[in-house]
Chains A and B, each alone.
Chain A
Amino acid sequence: MSTLPDDSKAGIETEARRTRTPPAPRPDGRTDTGGGRNSQWAAAKTVASATLVVFALFVTWGGIAPLTEPRDTDGYYMSDPVVVDRPSAAVVTTDMDLLRG
């Protein structure tokens, strides 16, 4: 257990601050205060928030769009009418994916 008095601890901390390497001077003579890094972080957060908003718009639209498509009274999604007019005896289809169980 440490037996150093509180004053001594404060002295060590002050010494450490004193011996910290100062930031290298910028070519333009101004002092680098770290503000650039902060503004980059803020910009990154704004971009992330905007990305979240765009993603949320997709999820919202994906949820609401199918529910607004017109359906018949039994809940079926119906195609537009198509006229089938052929001289033969039958018209057949296996082309609808739905018919392949």
Chain B
Amino acid sequence: MFLPKPDDIRVQSLGARPESIFLGIAPSSEVDQFLDDVAHDQIIEWAANRNVLAVEYTPQDGTVSSAPPDRETFWAASVSGSGQQTLDWTIQRGDWTAVIMNTDGSNGVRAELAFGALPQSNWDTLHRTSFAIGLVLLAGGGLLMYLGLRRR
């Protein structure tokens, strides 16, 4: 569905994994510095195929281990823990990066994720108005057509 720029986005870690997962959003420059020389994967494409969302990655090699991400202070928004985790973030200007890691920074990231967007507050009003205008036009057009065909 086409959605104009929303107010907020949501990243949700689903499932009941015992491992603790970290979700964070930070300025891209800070994340680049944090993961410098740390092996990580960059998502380059999201593609929906038969209602299944597929992801393509570009691996980035590295030689050092990552520090636990929740010790850093540059995150604009972050959550961590086991089980379902929900990260909400109000969109801001600039270039941002979303990060998924194990809370201890260890290798092997496995998570079931869902992404969401909260539409702008006038979204519902706009569509209800459009719906009402459509109904009026539909009634008017239908009446004109009926009258036109009846006079033939």
Interface residues, chain A, with chain B CB atoms under 8 Å away: 42, 45-46, 48-53, 55-67, 69, 72, 74-96, 98-101
Q: Besides the contacts A77-B116, A80-B48, A81-B14, what 19 more A-B pairs have beta carbons closer than 8 Å?
A: A42-B152, A50-B141, A53-B137, A55-B141, A56-B140, A67-B127, A83-B111, A84-B109, A84-B110, A85-B109, A89-B39, A90-B69, A90-B100, A91-B40, A91-B57, A91-B99, A91-B100, A91-B109, A93-B43
Across the A-B interface, the 9 shortest Cβ-Cβ residue pairs: A60-B134, A63-B131, A63-B130, A56-B137, A52-B141, A59-B134, A76-B116, A53-B141, A56-B138
A88–B137 CB distance below 8 A: no
A56–B134 CB distance below 8 A: yes
Query: How far, in angstroms, from A67 to B127 measured CA to CA in the complex?
Result: 7
A63–B148 CB distance below 8 A: no
Q: Do A92 and B134 form a contact, CB below 8 Å, given A42-B151, A101-B96?
A: no
Query: How far, in angstroms, from A48 to B137 measured CA to CA in the complex?
Result: 12
- Shortest CB–CB separation between residue B69 and chain A, in angstroms? 8
B102 at the interface (CB under 8 A from A): yes
Query: How far, in angstroms, from A90 to B134 measured CA to CA in the complex?
Result: 48
User: Who on chain B is nearest to A78 by CB?
Assistant: B116
Cβ-Cβ contact count across A and B, 8 Å cutoff: 225
Query: How far, in angstroms, from A98 to B131 measured CA to CA in the complex?
Result: 27
Please pick, from B1, B65, B116, B148, the residue contacting A46 in the complex, using a CB distance under 8 A: B148
Interface residues, chain B, with chain A CB atoms under 8 Å away: 1, 3, 5-6, 8-10, 12, 14, 25, 28, 31, 35, 38-46, 48, 51-55, 57, 59-60, 62, 65-66, 69, 91-102, 105-119, 123-124, 127-138, 140-142, 144-145, 148-149, 151-152
* Residues of chain B within 8 A of A98, CB atoms compared: 5-6, 9, 91, 117
B9–A88 CB distance below 8 A: no
Query: How far, in angstroms, from A79 to B48 measured CA to CA in the complex?
Result: 10
